[in-house]
Structure 1
């Protein structure tokens, strides 16, 4: 448990490395999608992500935060492989639907497990570093 915060720092940095985000729309356009299809996919992704927040929170409480995070990070990796191999509207939609499941599953469980792993007097510093590392990954 005492090393969890360091594992979370590494994971936050790696998940922040969304190196393809700047060219994802261009990639999708090159693969034959229109801008309106991309907008539809992103809209569905956002709606589903919000709808799954509460069910994932309940499931995370039931099966444990660690198992939930392991499952979601495995699915996160699979979604990146799906993005790389996608060639059609439905391929990209499937990738974003899986990503909706992943993001809503990770959201909250990461903070809850991290909070359970640290002393109360460390909270401000640990969460500050956690968010900082996540932001550095996005640069």
Structure 2
């Protein structure tokens, strides 16, 4: 259990402090304007904030481990969509 908590903290650190900075550079290099990148980030953070309370209820109902795994899978899927996107719209 302690190992899983440590791995989760490492994942979050890499996700939010390393990958996010490179992500911005990658998207601008791919042709997205700074406005579009900012809009995508705003949408991401807005929906994250919006789903905080429902995700807690889902965690209570189905278990936190399953909810965390499902959220990681959805995160990977959304990242793949952004990588494979050819334009903003």
Structure 1 pair 51/75, CA: closer, same or farther in 2 (3 Å)?
same
**Map of 1:27 onto structure 2:** 26
1:69 partnered with 2:80: no
Of 5, 9, 19 in structure 1, the residue corresponding to residue 6 of structure 2 is 9
RMSD: 1.9
**Cα displacement (A) at 1:82:** 3.3
**Cα displacement (A) at 1:24:** 1.9
Count of residues in correspondence between the two structures: 87
- Unaligned segments of structure 1, at least 5 residues: 91-139
> Which protein has greater RCO, CA pairs closer than 8 Å, 6+ apart?
1
Give the TM-score normalised by structure 1. 0.53
Question: Larger radius of gyration, structure 1 or 2?
Answer: 1
1:56 partnered with 2:50: no
**Cα displacement (A) at 1:60:** 0.8
Compare the two structures and name the one with the higher helix fraction.
2
